[in-house]
Each structure stands twice: as C-alpha cells, then as structure tokens.
Structure 1
C-alpha cells in the first residue's frame, strides 16, 4: 500500500541525503523542461499503439501538461503521502485505459537516460555526478514501483476472486494451453518441411522439363509463396510462446498464398469454360480474403 510510503523509501534506501541531491538538480532541469517534453513525445510516438492513447490534440495537450508537472515534481523535494498517492492515481489511470506496462517501463527508462545525459553535461565533478545519478535513480525506481502496483493488484484481485476449483481449472488450462502452443509449433515445423519438399519437387519438374516452362515457373512461385507464409506463421507462433500477442492475419495470409497458387495453376488450363469458372471462383475468394485481411490489419493498427 502507498500509505506505507515511509517503508517504501526505506526499502529503496531513499534518504534525506538523496532528497538534498535531487533538489540541487531542480534549477538545472527547469531549464530543460521544454527540451524534455519534446524528446519524450518524440520517443513515445515510436510505440506502435501510441496514437491509440493520444488520439487527438486535446488529449495530447492535456497529457503533455501532466508529464511536465510529473517531471518537475521529481525535483520538488516533497516525497510525502500526497506525492505517492498521485503516483498511484497515474498507475490506476494507465490500467483503466489499458496501457501496456511495457510502455510504462520503456518511458521511465527513457527518462532515466535523459536525466543522466543532462547531469553528465551540466555537472563537472565526477563524484558529485555519481551521487546525483544514484539519488535520482532511486526516485525513478520508486515511481515505477508505485505506478505498476495497480497492474499487480488488478491481476491479484481477479485471481483472488476465484474459488479453489476455479484456480485448479485455471492452472490446468494454462498448462494445457502451453502444451497446445508447443504442439502447434511442432506441427508448423512439419508443415514447413512438407512445403519445402513441395517447392523442391516443383523445382525438380521445372529443371528436368517434366512440365511446361510457364506452368513450372508458376508452380515454383506458388510453392515459394506458401513457404514464405508458413515461415511467417512460425515466427508469429514463436513470438506468441514468448508472451507476445498472436496475429490472426497471418492465417489469412497463408490462405491467400494457397489460393493465389491455385490461381496460378488454373490460369494454365486448356478448357476455356472450366478455366474461366476457376479463375472467377479463385478471384472471388482472393477478394474476400483480401477484404478480411485489410479489416483485421486496420483494426490491429488502430
């Protein structure tokens, strides 16, 4: 609880000497506040989903003012209960809007690097620089700890509300899900090997003139397209096993690759009527999958 803020400061060995060191930095960083805000948002907008949280100029202006105040308060020297409660409120707001903890951690890391850079530039004495860096580092660690309390409590509250049976089912389901993910990855390896052999077989037929030149080239290109799509799916599954979010549009991409290969082959047919029907059918499927792929990609990007 943030009400135990004195204990939190003890745990981080944040002393009165650290407060004095940080207050001495206040005149320096007041001069750099505009530079900090500019570079901070330049950094933040590198995040893929930044525009999802900073949707318009009004929200951005409000957020900039809050960041400016938070940064200046780092050097205020007043680290009492009110200061800790404000940090807690920031964390709760992050949870409420669904901001990933990764963004919070990365942002604090940027702030730390920025402050160290300015201290190195403005403070000549090496020992004095080391003291300032150590003190502000403790305070930033405290900030991060308090801001992420809301995330931890949200996870714990959901788990605490479960009955004993629900917790057992949850634990089993999680382990079973890990097994399924591993099985899918193994299956993808097998599929990739099969497609690799298909590509080799198409290349063999083309090399030894077992098929026409045009048909052989289109078959090789189609197999190569499917191999690329399966490779992308394997990469996504590995990313998912490491804790990332799975991209469903990869499945649509594989289906597109398979249908495009069918379209290549159908375009070489000799029966004009059947060829026309096949081309129209495959084209309709490709169009439908393309629309679905576009809608999913648009939703993920927004």
Structure 2
C-alpha cells in the first residue's frame, strides 16, 4: 500500500477538506442510527448477504465495527493508524471471500446517503457543494484502500509463482478465454438451429403434416427451449464480463428440452412409461435447480 500522505495527495485531499469533514461531524452524528438501519436494509438485498452475516453475534459485531468506521470517518484524523485500520478491514473482506462488487455497491449507497443528508441540512449552496466534494474524496480514499487488499492478494499470488508457473498460468487463462468465446459462438449456432426448428414446427402445423394439438405443443416446447438457450447465452456473457459460472442456466436448458419431450409424448397413451421416466428426471433437475437458487 502507498504511503497514506501520498494517497491523500493523489486524491487532492487537503486540510480544507479535513475542516469540511469536521463541520459535518456534529451534523452526521445524529444520523448514525438511521445510517446503520438503512445500510442493513440495503445490503440485505444482496443474494449472499447472510452467507457472511450468519448469526446474531456476527451481525452485532459487524454493526459495532460499522459504527466505529462511521465515527472514524468524521474524526478529522487521517493518519497512518486510520489507513491501517481501513486496510485491515479490506484484508478481512478478502479473508471471508466478500466480492468486491458488494464493497463498491455499498459505497455507492453510502455516498448517496451522505449527499441526501447534506442536502437536507445545507440546501443548495456553495457550502453544500464544498462539503459534498470533501466527503466524496474521503469516501473514494476509503474505497481505494479497502480494495487495495484485493489487488495486493492477486499480485502476491502471481509474484510467488516460478517462471514456468507464470507461463502456464497465462497460457491456461488465454485458453480458458478462448473456450468461453467458443462457447458463446456455439450458443449462437444452437440458437439458430432452435429458431430453424421452431420454423419447421410452424411449417408442419400450417400444412397439416402433424395433428394441430401435437403441432402447437411442439412449437410451444421449441419456444421454451429457445428461451432457455437465450437465458444461457446472457449468463455466459455475464461470465465473460467477470461473473460466476451459471450452472443453473444449463439445468434450465435441460429442463426446457425435457418439458418439450413431455409435451409431445403426453399425446401418446402408449408411452406412459416413457412419460413417467421423463417426469422423474424433470423432478430431479427441478430439485437441483431449486437448491442452487436457494443457495444464492
């Protein structure tokens, strides 16, 4: 981590900004409880919040630390000790595996909360603009130091590798990226085939090649598969942008394909055993899909 004085210079955080923060201190003190309450309502919307806040004891300890961070933010003392505390918070986030996305989103909420309260207290004025600018710089510094732990962890892992391991790592990463792009290309191709299958279903329906009830069910089933493939492609695009691997989307495609089979087979009374076997598979996949959704 850079020296704390250099960080302040990089963000143009001056003594004037410190004075502005001290002006805000008594004002923001009365909003501390509201901040804690609204912050928890905000983070409760994250899919994995309660993976990290597992018990009442952890929540209480986290709230205490949050209050301490709030007090330090408006203390006017931004020395080595202050920056060390911030960095330790970042290290704790890394240790528990908290995604940086959650940290960034939380700071977006914090910034909006402070601006809202400054607007209430100071209205539209030049002083208000100065206060918003100063608290904005300080929040940016906080976010930069907190996320530094993530960056340094990634660098430290790479630096301890041997030359051969670095080459292997780089090659594997490039190959993995190529596979991801190949998967997107394959999904585009599959989507075109599914669209073709849908058009073929419509053709058979219009020209009476298949009974009308079977034709309608075939077309609906193909549309369901097309929808599932579209969802899978969107998830894969998110994965290319840095998101996680969406195994649930693959299960969704399998479910859609099986449901299409069931819709067609259900028209034949002679295939009741086959229908039951498809139903059992759909039930199993449905349970897996539900468990994955619950885990999120």
Specify the TM-score bucket, using the shorter chain as the normaliser: over 0.9
Report the alpha carbon displacement of residue 124 of structure 1 after superposing the two structures with TM.
4.7
Q: CA deviation at 1:125?
A: 7.0
Q: Give 1:70 shift.
A: 0.9
Match of 1:11 in 2: 10
Gaps of 5+ in 2: none
TM superposition score normalised by structure 2 = 0.94
Aligned to 1:248: 247
Which stretch has the larger CA shift, 117-126 or 28-37? 117-126
| Cα shift at 1:22 | 0.9
CA RMSD of aligned residues (A): 1.7
Matched, 1:226 2:225: yes
- 1:290 aligns to what? 286
Equivalent residue number for residue 189 of structure 2? 190
Aligned equivalent of 2:275, options 279, 284, 290: 279
Counterparts of 1:286 and 1:23 in 2: how far apart (Å)?
62
Separation of aligned partners in 2, 1:276 and 1:111: 59
Name stretches of at least 5 consecutive residues in structure 1 with no aligned partner: none
* Counterpart residue number, 2:114: 115
1:127 aligns with 2:126: yes
CA distance in 1, matches of 2:163, 2:292: 38
Separation in 2 of the partners of 1:42 and 1:18?
30
| Deviation at residue 25 of structure 1 after TM alignment | 1.1
Q: For 2:286 and 2:178, how far apart are their aligned partners in 1?
A: 32
Shift of 1:250: 1.3
1:87-98 mapped onto 2 (5 Å cutoff) = 87-98=86-97
Aligned-partner Cα distance in 1 for 2:41–2:285:
36
Alignment of 1:1-302 (within 5 A): 1=1, 4-124=3-123, 126-269=125-268, 272=270, 275-299=271-295, 301=296
**CA deviation vs aligned residue, 1:82-123 (integer Å, no higher than 9, x gap):** 111111111111111111111111211221221122122212
Taking the aligned partners of 1:72 and 1:7, their CA distance within structure 2 comes to 23
Separation in 2, partners of 1:262, 1:11: 62
Q: 3-state SS of the aligned residue for 1:148?
A: helix
CA distance in 1, matches of 2:23, 2:254: 62
Note the C-alpha offset of 1:26.
0.9
List, as ranges, runs of 4+ consecutive aligned residues in structure 1 with deviation greater than 4 Å.
none
After the TM superposition, which of the residue ranges 200-209 and 53-62 deviates more from structure 2?
53-62
Structure 2: distance between partners of 1:140 and 1:234: 36
Q: Which region of structure 1 is more displaced relative to structure 2, 242-251 or 288-297?
A: 288-297
CA pair 125-201 structure 1, distance change in 2 beyond 3 A: closer
Q: Aligned pair count?
A: 296
> Could you tell which deviates more after superposition, 282-291 or 146-155?
282-291
Structure 1 CA distance, aligned partners of 2:149 and 2:200? Answer: 57
